[in-house]
Chain A
Amino acid sequence: MEDDKNLMLDHEYDGIQELDNNLPNWWLWTFFGAIIFAFLYWIHYDVSQSGPTLDQELAQGIARVEQHRKNAQSSGGGEEVSEEEMLAAGQTVFRNYCAACHGQKGEGGVGPNLTDGYWIYEKGAPDTIKGLVTKGILDKGMPAWESMLKPNEIDAVVKYVSSIRNTNEKGKEPQGNKVDE
């Protein structure tokens, strides 16, 4: 404050005066630091290309995820799950993801009725349902659930769907062919 007199410039605008204090050192170093970092970053990623591109980073990330999935699958199956537990889990998955189109009880809505014993694409056997759930019928709007659901969740929901057929809930009209047991 004592120095203010020495630092005062002869500038005056509508009564506003200006001091000429030095730039604070910490401020200067922030500025220089950012510029140096920016330059090195640019060299690393764009000039020498020693850093990965976003596409490369993504590919590595996907590879890691796939490795995780493989590991999980090979180490899985350790603990036995009872029939009831699996059906209950399947029902939860069904309500969370399937019920929007197929109804709370599988009676159909946007998607077909799953309780009437009629099947459009497959024969209603667990092994064929699993293919539908995993890969979907993209043109008809059935998503490929393999990207969203884990393998054990898919198994559970398939088991649940198999368990509700021929319960004949009142809902959407039958579509496809009647499949006998």
Chain B
Amino acid sequence: MSQKIQVRYDNKIVAFFVLASIFWAGAAFLAGVLAALQLAYWPFNFELEWLTFSRIRPLHTNAAIFAFAGNAIFAGMYHSTQRLLKTRLFSDALSWIHFWGWQLIILSAAITLPLGFSQSKEYAELEWPIDIAITLIWVVFALNFFGTIVKRKEKHIYVAIWFYIATIVTVAVLHIVNSLEIPVGFLQSYPIFGGVQDALVQWWYGHNAVAFFLTTPFLGLMYYYIPKAVNRPVYSYRLSIVHFWSLVFIYIWAGPHHLLYTSLPDWAQTLGMIFSLMLWAPSWGGMINGLLTLRGAWHLLRTDPIVKFLVTAVTFYGMSTFEGPLLSIKSVSLLAHYSDWIIAHVHGGALGWNGFLSFGMFYYIIPKIWKTKMYSTRLMNYHFWIGLSGILIYYISMWASGITQGLMWRAIDDSGYLVYPDFVETVMQIAPLYWVRAVGGILYLTGYVLAVYNIVKTIKSANALEADETVEVNATVDLSVDKSEGFHRRLEGMVTIFSVLVFLSIAVGSILEIVPTLSIHKYVPQSDEVLPYTALEQAGRDVFVTEGCYVCHSQQIQKHVSDVLRYGPASTIGESIYDHPFQWGSKRTGPDLARVGRKYPDLWHFRHMMNPRSMVEKSIMPSYPWLLDKKVDFYSLRKKLSVLKMVGVPYTDEQVAQADRWAEAQADEVAASLAKEGVEGEIKGTKLVALIAYLQALGKKSKDDEKAKAHLELVPGGGGEQ
């Protein structure tokens, strides 16, 4: 018999992460409910820039993913890892740097996003100083985690740990590659990738944020908390092996399914679709293992609220991972993409899978580490049923909305015309469903409030947190390779090799998809080449990004008849070649803008931005009156254009050096056209003028366009020649 020693599990860090997650969940849910109400009834935007939908929505997604789910993951990982490896976390110092660092990152996100500091890349909106902080804290986390593995008192690592390793390795790769950007100021930067490259990298990141931040860590948690909660063995070890490796290998390829029918090359779209289909079974492997672990313990589903939460979470995981491959089929995507069906899909995952798994886990952990019982089982049950009703109402209303609007967008009648050519008509049709959705969100929030009350009561009635939990474990563990073990069993004892294999598994798909695309701009046909934005247009583009217009407006006309009839010729690769960042968008709450340039007069845009209802009576778009009060910093355009030149936009030295005067000359032109139409006041230097210049340039940057060419001539000193 080997000697025993005592180790102390760190429960305090777990408690802090649990409470942080619960705290930020409130922020995420409140922002979500506000956003839902804003879509139902536009006056809820309050004409305040930092409360406007286009800034609240990134706040909502970031809070839900990185603050609520992020802290929940860290809580569960630190709680389960110590127990699965029979050792205390590697370093208390690293644990606390991780905790406070992460909270500071969230706090800085909560401040900068409403203020409009954003890169506009979904779930990667945070600006470069915060990107660097995330990288550093992630490294701290990784050191702490792998350090814990090194000092483990258990030879083999359990399947939960496999998923944690995949999470840590892959999120690091995703975050670093997608955050390659060059600063132009303290809180602004341009990504080094542009156009189609940026789109591909972003959705490789975006989809795998779902995969490796919202799926693999939660599968790991599932593998610990379900067997613990029901006290039954995991259903199938070999299924764990097969679905783990296939999931990790296949998931990374699926990103391009966010870009079907766009100007992304066909081969990449095909890969995105077929790998998404192949992902169905590996995903369901996790669900099967989770659900069948309950064999012999199904009665707990009636009596134990924790089991209700966990099992329902896994069920939603099964639904989402069936729906995901379905939505990736090109023809289904054509109906669903840009519509609320996608919103339904992600909320099934976020509220059902991530949310319920987190709450089930909290209800498991809290009484354990505070050495007490939950204050009220009845409140847990209420939370479950109210929350579940909320999810279902949300899901079903957004299905109905998405499918309705998708069908309306695409309806073409016998005489070859769009049945609903007026975009706002399709919005009016689904507006009532936005109220229904808000009800769903409010119910989910209500369940959360009950949880908070229940948890506060529980903690108050407990004696104290058991900050350090002492257990007896073997003093030493023999890590030498045992030849009698099977291949994978041996691998489970060799964590370095295991981690390298994980890295290689995700590297294959990443490299094969992204690398060929990096040279794609060389092959754009000359006829597709466009002129770069003028300095003023670029300034307007920054306004577009800051305000978050991409949240509701795409700039990508799909290669499909209905899109072409509605918006004009399909978008080409060449047209977005100088777009750093790309603005293809992912949702059309309003119409596509890829060819909105010169479709309406300047005055139309002026009035529309001040009050959209003045031009489109039924519009649900927020007003942006502050754009008339805010000034463009013309001087900063020199720096901005020089950075863009560095990443490949063909500006001349003259254009960069004279960027401010160039922009002012064009601003004079726009202001004069508006003054002629009766707009009063000194508007030349306003952000609104810059934004109008940008909107009027969309789809109008062809090399043969006289007006676009004339705008290049506005550079003082005649720097117009390319």
Residues of A within 8 A of B (CB): 1, 4, 8-9, 11, 13-24, 27-28, 30-31, 34-35, 37-39, 41-42, 45-46, 53-55, 57-58, 61-62, 64-69, 71-73, 76, 96-97, 100-101, 110-111, 138-141, 143, 147-150
In the assembly, what is the distance between CA of A22 and CA of B285, in Å? Answer: 12
Given contacts A110-B601, A141-B604, A147-B568, contact A57 B559 (CB under 8 A): yes
The reply to whether A61 and B278 contact each other, CB–CB distance below 8 Å, is: no
The reply to whether B234 and A17 contact each other, CB–CB distance below 8 Å, is: yes
Given contacts A55-B559, A138-B598, A141-B604, contact A148 B418 (CB under 8 A): yes
The 9 tightest CB contacts between A and B, nearest first, are A141-B601, A72-B415, A68-B416, A31-B281, A38-B274, A61-B561, A69-B416, A17-B233, A21-B236
The reply to whether B274 and A72 contact each other, CB–CB distance below 8 Å, is: no
Q: Which residue on A lies nearest to B269, using beta carbons?
A: A54
The reply to whether B415 and A20 contact each other, CB–CB distance below 8 Å, is: no
Partner of A110, one of B267, B269, B615: B615
Shortest Cβ gap from B11 to chain A (Å): 14
Question: For the complex, is B92 an interface residue (Cβ under 8 Å from A)?
Answer: no
In the assembly, what is the distance between CA of A41 and CA of B277, in Å? Answer: 11
The reply to whether B266 and A23 contact each other, CB–CB distance below 8 Å, is: no
Given contacts A13-B154, A54-B261, contact A62 B598 (CB under 8 A): no
> Which A residues touch B435, using CB under 8 A?
none
Given contacts A31-B246, A68-B414, A143-B599, contact A24 B564 (CB under 8 A): no
A-B CB contact pairs (8 Å), 22 listed? A1-B295, A9-B237, A14-B86, A17-B227, A17-B234, A18-B236, A21-B236, A21-B292, A24-B288, A27-B239, A27-B288, A30-B284, A31-B281, A46-B266, A54-B559, A58-B570, A76-B415, A100-B616, A101-B615, A138-B598, A141-B599, A143-B600
Looking at A54, A62, A97, A143, the one whose CB has the most chain B CB atoms below 10 A away is A54
Q: Which residue on A lies nearest to B425, using beta carbons?
A: A96
> Which A residues touch B566, using CB under 8 A?
147
Q: A18-B233, A64-B561 are known; give 12 further A-B pairs, CB within 8 A.
A: A1-B295, A14-B224, A14-B228, A23-B238, A30-B284, A31-B246, A34-B280, A46-B266, A61-B561, A68-B415, A69-B416, A140-B601
Q: Which residue on A lies nearest to B242, using beta carbons?
A: A23
In the assembly, what is the distance between CA of A31 and CA of B288, in Å? Answer: 14
Question: For the complex, is B387 an interface residue (Cβ under 8 Å from A)?
Answer: no
Shortest Cβ gap from A107 to chain B (Å): 14
Partner of A21, one of B80, B154, B239, B296: B239
In the assembly, what is the distance between CA of A19 and CA of B240, in Å? Answer: 11
Partner of B234, one of A19, A57, A141: A19
In the assembly, what is the distance between CA of A20 and CA of B233, in Å? Answer: 10
The reply to whether B270 and A46 contact each other, CB–CB distance below 8 Å, is: yes
> Which A residues touch B615, using CB under 8 A?
100-101, 110
> Which A residues touch B274, using CB under 8 A?
37-39, 41-42
> Which A residues touch B242, using CB under 8 A?
23
> Which A residues touch B285, using CB under 8 A?
27
Partner of A141, one of B224, B266, B600: B600
Question: For the complex, is B20 an interface residue (Cβ under 8 Å from A)?
Answer: no
In the assembly, what is the distance between CA of A108 and CA of B568, in Å? Answer: 27
Contact with A along B278-296 (1 / 0, CB 8 A): 1011101100100010011
The reply to whether B607 and A18 contact each other, CB–CB distance below 8 Å, is: no
The reply to whether A58 and B267 contact each other, CB–CB distance below 8 Å, is: no
In the assembly, what is the distance between CA of A22 and CA of B237, in Å? Answer: 9
The reply to whether A65 and B561 contact each other, CB–CB distance below 8 Å, is: yes
Question: For the complex, is B371 an interface residue (Cβ under 8 Å from A)?
Answer: no
In the assembly, what is the distance between CA of A38 and CA of B277, in Å? Answer: 7
The reply to whether B228 and A15 contact each other, CB–CB distance below 8 Å, is: yes
Shortest Cβ gap from B499 to chain A (Å): 19
The reply to whether B417 and A150 contact each other, CB–CB distance below 8 Å, is: yes
In the assembly, what is the distance between CA of A74 and CA of B292, in Å? Answer: 64
Question: For the complex, is B90 an interface residue (Cβ under 8 Å from A)?
Answer: no
> Which B residues touch A71, using CB under 8 A?
415
